[in-house]
Amino acid sequence: MNPIKFIQRWLGGNHKQLIIDALYPNNELAGLQISDATGIKLSRLYPALYALEAEGSIGSRWGEQRVGDRGFARRRLYRLTKKGKRMRVDSFTESFAAGNAIGIELLRSE
C-alpha cells in the first residue's frame, strides 16, 4: 500500500478525503482510476463521489466515447472544483500538524 494512503487511513482519513487527494494532482479521473488510486471498492466509491458532487467539492462530465479494452464505453470523468482544492489544502495542513504531533510523541517516548 502507498505510504501516504496508509498514513491517511491510520489518521482516520475517510473516503471523501482519499478521493480528493487522488484527484488533486490530476485534471480528471474516471471512477475506476480513482478506485485504483485509493483502494476504495467501487460499491463505496460512487456514493462518495455523488456526495462530493452534491456538496460542490468535485464536478463531473461525460467523456468522449472511445474504443478501448473495455469496449465502446463513455466514462464519467471527475475533477476538483475550487471548493475541493481548498478542502485538500486544509486537510493537508491538518495532516501535517497531526504528523508533527505524532513525531513529537514518538521522540518523547524514546
> What pLDDT digit, counting tens, does each position of 23-59 carry?
988 889 999 999 999 988 898 899 999 999 999 999 9
Segment 69-93 mean pLDDT: 77
pTM of the model: 0.66
Q: Which grid coordinates belong to 100?
A: 508533527
Q: Which of 63, 62, 99, 81 is nearest to 20 (CA)?
A: 81
CA distances for 5 relative to 18, 55, 60, 67, angstroms: 8, 23, 24, 32
Percentage of the chain beyond pLDDT 70 is 62
Q: What is the Cα–Cα distance from 19 to 45, expressed in whole angstroms?
A: 8
Q: In the CATH scheme, what architecture does the domain 3-109 have? A: Orthogonal Bundle (1.10)
For the chain, what is the mean pLDDT? 77
d(C-alpha 81, C-alpha 107), whole Å: 39
Confidence of residue 12 (pLDDT cuts 50, 70, 90): very low
What separation in angstroms does the CA of 82 have from each of 8, 29, 38, 99? Answer: 22, 16, 21, 26
Q: What share of the chain is helix, strand, coil (3-state, %, to 5)?
A: 60, 15, 25
Alpha-carbon distance 17 to 97, whole Å?
Answer: 16
Q: Residue 77: is its pLDDT beyond 90? A: yes
Instruction: Give the Å distances, CA to CA, from 98 to 6, 10, 60, 74.
Output: 14, 11, 32, 40
pLDDT attached to residue 32: 92
Q: Return the higher-pLDDT residue of 50 and 110.
A: 50
More confident call, 64 vs 34:
34
